[in-house]
Amino acid sequence: MIDSAQPDLTRPEFYLSRDLSMLGFNRRVFEMACDTSIPLLERLRFLCISSSNLDEFFEVRVAMLKHRLQLGANNISPDGRSTGETLAAIRITVDQLVQEQYAVLENELLPAMHDEGIEILRRGEWTEQQQQWVRRFFRSDLLPVLTPIALDPAHPFPQLVNKILNFIVGLEGKDAFGREMQHAIVQAPRSLPRLIALPEDVAGCPHGFVFLSSIIHAHVGELFPGMQVNACHQFRVTRNSELYLHEEETEDLKKAVAGELLERRYGEAVRLEVSTKCPAELSDFLLHQFHLKEADLYRVDGLVNLYRLSSISDEVDRPDLKFPPFVAGLPEGMRSDTEEEPSSLFDVIQRGDVLLHHPFQSFAPVMDLLHQAANDPNVLVIKQTLYRVVPDSPIVDALARAARSGKEVVAVIELRARFNEEDNIGLADRLHAAGVQVVFGVVGYKTHGKMMLIVRREGRRVRRYVHLGTGNYHSITTRYYTDFGLLSCDPRLGEDVHKVFQQLTGMGRALSMKSMLQAPFTLHKGMLERIEREAEYARHGGQGRIIAKMNGLEEPEIIRALYNASQAGVKIDLLVRGICCLRPGIPGVSENIRVRSVLGRFLEHPRIYYFQNNGDEELFCASADWMNRNLLRRVETCFPILDEALKNRVMKEGLRMYLADNTGTWTLRQDGSYVRVKSTGKPRSAQAELMDLLGDQGSARG
């Protein structure tokens, strides 16, 4: 029993497991695939996303936990579990989730797709015509790029790339040199898609596909002429994909990261997936080769990589089975009914701050501002942080053009943005070649803040323009992630952003900010102080109120501060998309805290922090979650929304509409489980309402 009189808020019963909470988020993604109100091909896409999320979970989190055990560090996490206990709990949770994924695919999605003329043609059910087509494809397209590897002393077990489809083949007989062979490995070529579309007249349906794995299965005997194939089973190994860099000992960070990337594809194995039909003899053989244990083996009833099914959504032209098309809108003052060139964005920003809510509103104004700055002879300096950017981004062209025209251009590129390292190295090389001053941030701290600074001469004065955002400068994710961005020439914000760039590119003490908070210096402390301030107001008869939206909540001091505020009577609403280690609803501890998770067509990504402050309301947008890594080990920005009209917009669009959502919302219960909110009245979808409000047919002041 919990002593509610004076509870020790460091006790493990007050904390949820970070890793199990992450798996809980992935279950909610999977439940979107089970929602029959969502278009069929979008349900399939959600299933594929849940599979991809699991891959990354093993590559990063499970790999890290196993690495700790190997080092003898069986740490106790805040929820009271040792590393070994956490891994055991992960195993149970993942087993259940994977079984449900394959059951939904087999029993719901594939039959529904069949009814719509979208068919996965099974090997045992191919017609004679289909068999002939597959045979021709195998010999013309597949056989030339296959390399079977027989296993003997001259051909030891090969190094297999992370997450690539492979086959373990059981053989009997002698090869051309008289050698007795028992096993061989066949790796599916990465140059071919995993789903092969058949012509409609061959498939017998509008959209017929066969798995590449089925084609290899059907013709694997041709790879071993004169030998008997007794078994052929697909498998996949997942490897540790974390980069291990001793940054303090690294003289050239870019070269070190590039070197580690070569090793990532062959990192230590952490999971082996095999088909359910694979006999124990072969799965044990594979476990031995990868130095894994039985607990690392996952048997799946079907394709070993569900994410490969995502290509169906792209290849099948059935708009009726997908989300309706959506065109992002523009804020008032930027919309034009003519084909004339857009007016100067510098003039627009001078008239007042501009708030952009993506993807409901276009990211184009940010790009337009950068392009106008690159072409404007009055612009002296452009500085920008780049965390995740597509390699062919127009941002690169604009920065390069600005540098070539004689402007001072600085790009702070984070090389260690997970799974984007290779792209960012290429980005750095391109910018450096164009004359851009490229900086790789600060040793030991990832530069995660999203900001751009433009210094422009206007008559006899110099003015700073800034863009601050909660999301990345990534042309693809800006269409699918919800985020806020602010365009401003407010001198306070301009000076603060200038100081952050000064800290990133130079050396010296942390500089005091006029209005922004910055990790790792003032953000953590600033959030704790504001949470405590709300508690003090409540203790003295006021109405303390906190509303916060983020991707993850894990930092123990923040959680304890929220518990204390709840005990003081502060009403707290938390919109936490993913990880949440706080337990709501504990009598005497967190009964005033409500935690909700909202999922939908777009990935919820902004960080918004509201404090009532006894009527003098404070509202911040940030690049940082309330996670230990964000608050203490990264360079992050947290900026206030100073304009009252824009503050009201963020409150409405980013918080209140989501608190009213009853179609894509789950509530976190005290035991750590989530339950989906059932609509009892009028259905409310925050994302749908925002599409209507801000999309190309809607309007919003800003």
Pairing of strands 450-458, 618-622: unpaired
Taking the model in full, what pTM does it have?
0.93
How do residues 426-468 score in pLDDT, each as one tens digit? 788 888 888 899 898 787 888 999 999 999 999 999 999 999 9
Closest C-alpha to 159, from 169, 149, 170, 144: 149
Classify domain 345-515 at the CATH class level. Answer: alpha beta
Domain 12-321: CATH superfamily, name plus number: Polyphosphate kinase middle domain (3.30.1840.10)
655 alpha carbon, distance to own chain's centre: 21
> In sequence order, what are the residues at sequence separation of 6 or more whose Cβ sits closer than 8 angstroms to the Cβ of residue 576?
549, 550, 551, 552, 553, 595, 596, 597, 668
- Spell out the SS3 assignment of 138-204: HHHHHHHHCCCEECECCECCCCCCCCCCEEEEEEECECCCCCECCEEEEECCCCCCCEEEECHHHHC
Classify domain 518-694 at the CATH class level. Answer: alpha beta
Q: How far apart are CA 365 and CA 354, in angstroms?
A: 10
Q: What angle is formed at CA 542 by the lines to CA 536 and CA 544, rounded to 5 degrees?
A: 65
How do residues 301-314 score in pLDDT, each as one tens digit? 888 999 999 999 99
Contact 464, 494 (CB under 8 A): yes
Distances (CA, A) of 191 to 101, 104, 187, 610: 27, 29, 11, 49
Q: How far apart are CA 214 and CA 217, in angstroms?
A: 5
Domain boundaries, the chain: 12-321, 345-515, 518-694
Specify whether 432 is catalytic. no
How do residues 197-231 score in pLDDT, each as one tens digit? 999 999 999 999 999 999 999 999 999 988 899 99
Q: Residue type for 327, please?
A: V
Q: Residue type for 423, please?
A: D
Pairing of strands 674-676, 665-668: antiparallel
Pairing of strands 571-576, 593-598: parallel
Q: How confident is the model at residue 702 (pLDDT cuts 50, 70, 90)?
A: very low
Q: How far apart are CA 63 and CA 268, in angstroms?
A: 8
Q: How confident is the model at residue 156 (pLDDT cuts 50, 70, 90)?
A: confident
Contact 453, 501 (CB under 8 A): yes
User: Exactly one of 207, 371, 448, 467 is catalytic; which is it?
Assistant: 448
Q: Do domains 12-321 and 345-515 have the same CATH topology?
A: no
Please report which helix (H) or strand (E) contains residue 129, including its range.
helix 128-137
Please report which helix (H) or strand (E) contains residue 79, including its range.
none
How do residues 584-616 score in pLDDT, each as one tens digit? 999 999 999 999 999 999 999 999 999 999 999
Q: How confident is the model at residue 265 (pLDDT cuts 50, 70, 90)?
A: low
